[in-house]
Structure formats: structure tokens, C-alpha cells
Amino acid sequence: MRVLLDKLKEVLYTVIPIAVIVVVLNFTITPLEPHLLWKFLIGTVIIVIGLSIFLLGVDIGITPIGNAIGSGLAKTNKILIVVAAGLVLGFIISAAEPDLHILARQVDMVTSGSVSKTAIVVGVSVGLGAMVALGLARIVYNISLRTVFTIMYFIVFVMGLLASPAFLAISFDSCGATTGALSVPFILALARGVSMLKKDSKASEKDSFGLVGIASIGAILGVLSMDIVSNTGELTGKLEHHSLASESIIMPFFAELPKVAFDVFIALLPILITLIIYQGISRGFSKRAFRRVIMGLLLSFVGLVLFMDGVTAGFMDVGSLVGYKVASLDSKAYILIIGALLGFVTVLAEPAVHVLMQQIEEATSGYIKRGLVGISLSIGIAVAVGLSVLRLLVPGIQLWHYLLPSYLIAIPLMYIVPELFIGIAFDSGGVASGPMTATFILAFIQGAAEAVEGASVLVDGFGMIAMVASTPLIALQILGLIYKIKTRKEA
């Protein structure tokens, strides 16, 4: 039973800080209606339970499946199979991602239908599939991450120049949206499965990472090419808004449940189908192991449904209300500080962050401590959310004023930090922008945007996820730099 308690404890440490901040805010500067606070607290409990179950499920289900399929693919020794499998896997995983559908619907709406929902979903999924294939090929052919990222981001840069500025935000957001709570652990495990085979343990360690990062570029390229092809002009239309009508405390949790369960089921389906095909062809799992990974998938499903339910029903209203109320205060310093603070703590409650930290520990035999990765991520996201709030307050700042410099720092940094950290850094960009950010923090920013005069929910709503996906690139590479300097001294 201690295993369960340990997981619960690990999760508690990461979720409690969020609850504490909101409760403290409630009793100080932004009193919330009692029913909202209760809903939030119930949501917190459900999130803790859900996240614990989900992480267990990832441990015994998704990770072994991804590892086995990755190794299996590499062992075929046929590049055609690796590339084809990468394409198909990337495509179906992305197409099944609920976050992508939400984003695509919003884009459809704000472009008044000139870029249809289907076009976005297909565009992003094709991009992601191509990049997963490329990422896998990179591992088996030992091509350096530096080269891949430099070339790919150069292409992104050129295409970004051609695209309209508003679409730039959407495209970078989509890179966060496609790498959700289920796909990230799976893609991470896939990469690990291939690189685990390597004889050179140093290469095996560093090639375990980077695939998520490469995959996210696929999403960016997908959306950008959609924009260039369809040639959209200004964004018009309006975003739908969540109503806060319900006074009930318990009901919203049940109301959200069917939809959330359906979304998670669809997202899980590609992994399940892949598993069945893999098992059918290669019989890679023993009977007992097969039963176990199925149970793991089931646990992941239950856990993620609970988690998402808790977040959507319990956290979203509170997020946007806190954002609105704090931003309405006279001193704008509050909203900046609280935004950064929330960013600092929420990222640790992202499911994929736990998975990434565990894989880092395993790949490096505990050499890179999870706490250090966590702190670096927290600092990165705090800066990201802080800057996003600043963008609301100061009308002149455009998204690319942030993105361009941050990538201009991140890319050259690659050439001085150890390659292991490059992969980790670019992966964590996709990892940090999970369901917690996409709901709670996004709601907070949108709430704040409503309270700030001149800020538009539409333009400023997009772009926050892009920020969250870009600051970890720098934060974790700096951690890598520190490691490099430290170990050199000791040697």
C-alpha cells in the first residue's frame, strides 16, 4: 500500500500550494463566493486523487507500451517501418487530442470559417506525424538534436515571417495544445524505447529526450502552412464564454463528467489500438504483462478523467474570477505577482511534468534530480505567465516581441549546453503546457484580460500557452549550463 501513499504524497506536495494560494487570496484581496470556493476545494481533492491514479497508470501502462513499441520499431531495422509508424502514430495521437479540437474550434470561430476546424486538425496532425517520423529517424541515425532544432526553427522563423501575426500566436499555442497529458508520456516512452537499445550509454541517455520537442514543431508548422495557404486576414468573431450561472457545488462535477470521459477515451484510443496491433504482430508482452498494461491504461483513463473533471468543473471558474478580480484592483503589481506565483506552482501539478521528471531520473540513474528540474520549470513558467500578464497591461507589446528573443536565446544556448539538456529542455516546453495550464492559467489570463481596459480576450487569450511552451527552453538549458560548470569544477 505504501506505493499508493507515496504517489499520493508526491501529488499532494504539488497540488496543495495552488489550493493554499487561492484560499489565501480568498481571505485577503479577492473574496470568492462561498460556493465557488467549495467547488474549488472539492476540485482540488478530485485532482489529487485523479492525478495519483493517472501517474500509476502511466507507470504500469503507457510507459511500458511506449517503450516496447519504440524498441520493437527500431529492431525491425527497416527505415520504412520506422517512418511509416512515426507518421501514423503522430497523426492519430494528435488527431485524438481533445485540446487540439478546442483550439481548432476557436480558430474556426475567430477566422469566421475561412480556416475550418477540420483543416486545422488535419494540418496539425500531418505536421506532428511528419515530425515524429523525423524524430525517430534522428535517433536511429544518430543525428544531433542541435542540427534538427536549428534547421526546424529556422523554417518556423521563415514561415512565421510570411504568416499573419495573429496566426503566429495560434500556431505556437497549438504546439502546446497537441502535446497533452496522454500523448506526452507516450511519445516520451517511445523515444526512450528506441534509445534504450543503444550500446553507447551516453547516447542512450541523451536520445531519450527531444522527441516531444520535435513533435511540437510539427504542430507549429502545420498551422503556419494552413495560414499561408488560406491567406486569412484580420481575426474577427468572438470567443465563446463560460457562464458562471450554476450555484450548485456538486452538480458541475457530474455535468462535466460525460464530456470529459468521452474526450479522454478518444485520446486514449490510439494508444490502445497501437498496443493491440503491436501485440498481434510481435507478441512482445507476455500474457501477464499484457494484462498489466491493459490495467495500466484503465487506471490512466480513470485517473485522467477525474483530473480533467476536477480541473474543468472546479478550477476554471475560480481561475477566471481570481484573474478578473485581481486585475480590477488599483495596483497592477498584484496581478503581475499573483500571475507569476500561480504559474510557479501550477506547472508542478501538470501530469506530464511528473512523467518527464521520472523519465529524466530513470534515464540518468538519478544524476539529474527531479527537484532541480521542477524548480527550473517553475521559474520558467512564472516568468511566462508574468510576461503574459504584462502584455495585457501594456498594449504595445506583441507576442513576437517575447517569442523571437526567447528563441534567439534558446537556439544559440544549444551550442554550449550538454546535449542531454537540449532534449530535456525542448521536451519540457511541450510538457509544461498541459491541461492545467490550458484551463486554469488560461482562464486566469482571460479573466484578467476582461478586467483590463484595452486588452482583448481574443488576441491576448492566445499566446499565453506559447509563452509557457517557450520559457522552459531557456530555463532548463540554463540548468544544463550550471550542471556543466559544476561538474567541470569537481572533476
Partner 1 sequence: MNDNPQATDYELIYVIVNHGSGSKVLHRAKKHSITGGTIYLGRGTLKNRVLEFFGIIDERKEIVVMASDTKTADEVIDILDQEFHFEKPHHGIAFTLPVCGVLGSTLYKCDEIHTERGESNTMYSLITTIVDRGKGEFVVDAATKAGAKGATIVNARGSGIHETSRVFAMEIEPEKEMVYILVKNEITEDVVSSIREELKIDEPGKGIIFVQSVNKTHGLHE
Q: Helix 351-363 vs helix 370-393: angle between axes, to the nearest 10 degrees?
A: 140
Task: Using the rule CB under 8 A, give the single segment among 224-232, 274-282, 288-296, 319-327 that binds partner 1.
Answer: 288-296
By CB under 8 A, residue 198 contacts partner 1: yes
For partner 1, which residue of 35, 117, 292, 484 counts as binding (CB under 8 A)? 292
Span interacting with partner 1, options 67-75, 97-105, 216-224, 314-322, rule CB under 8 A: 67-75
State the residue for C-alpha cell 484578467.
448
Grid look-up 498551422 returns 223
Toward partner 1, which CB reaches closer, 92 or 299? 299
**Which sign, positive or negative, has the C-alpha torsion 415, 212, 125, 134?**
positive
On whether the CB atoms of residues 134 and 148 are closer than 8 A, the answer is yes
| Residue 80 in the binding site for partner 1 (CB under 8 A) | no
Nearer to partner 1, 28 or 365 (CB): 365
DSSP sequence for 452-470: STT--HHHHHTTHHHHHHH
Binding status of residue 231 toward partner 1 by CB under 8 A: no
Element (H, E) at 380: helix 370-393
Say if CB 131 and CB 256 are below 8 A apart: no
CB of 321 to partner 1, least distance (A): 38
Residues 88 to 127 in contact with partner 1, rule: CB under 8 A: none
Q: How far is the CB of 359 from partner 1 (least distance, A)?
A: 12
CB 490 to partner 1: min, Å: 12
Which one of the spans 29-37, 237-245, 289-297, 412-420 is the region binding partner 1 (CB under 8 A)? 289-297
Longest Cα pair distance anywhere in the chain, in angstroms? 65
* Shortest distance in whole angstroms from residue 74 CB to partner 1: 6
Which residue from 35, 75, 105, 146 is in contact with partner 1, where contact means CB under 8 A?
A: 75
Of 4-23, binders to partner 1 (CB under 8 A) are 4, 6
Does residue 289 interact with partner 1 by CB under 8 A? yes
Looking at 112, 118, 147, 201, which residue binds partner 1 (CB under 8 A)?
Answer: 201
In the complex with partner 1, the residue whose CB is nearer, 71 or 328, is: 71
Are 178 and 213 spatial neighbours (Cβ–Cβ below 8 Å)? no
Residue 200 engages partner 1 in binding (rule: CB under 8 A): yes
Asked if 213 and 149 touch (Cβ cutoff 8 Å), the reply is yes
* Residue 116: Cβ-neighbour burial (10 angstroms; 0-12, 13-18, 19+): middle
Q: Cα 55 to the chain's mean position, in Å?
A: 15
Helix axes 399-413, 370-393, angle to 10 degrees: 150
Q: Tell me: does residue 305 bind partner 1 (CB under 8 A).
A: no
**How many residues of this chain bind partner 1 (CB under 8 A)?**
39
Region binding partner 1 by CB under 8 A among candidate stretches 236-244, 292-300, 307-315, 469-477: 292-300
Q: Which three cell numbers stand for residue 111?
A: 477566422
Exactly one of 60, 170, 212, 335 binds partner 1 (CB under 8 A); which one? 60
Residue 361 in the binding site for partner 1 (CB under 8 A)? yes
Report the candidate in 230, 413, 409, 385 with the shortest Cα–Cα distance to residue 322: 385
Q: Compute the distance between CA of residue 455 and CA of residue 394 in angstroms, rounded to an integer.
A: 9
Interface contacts to partner 1, rule CB under 8 A: 1-4, 6, 56, 60-61, 71, 74-77, 79, 139-142, 196-201, 203, 285-286, 288-289, 291-293, 295-296, 299, 361-362, 365-366
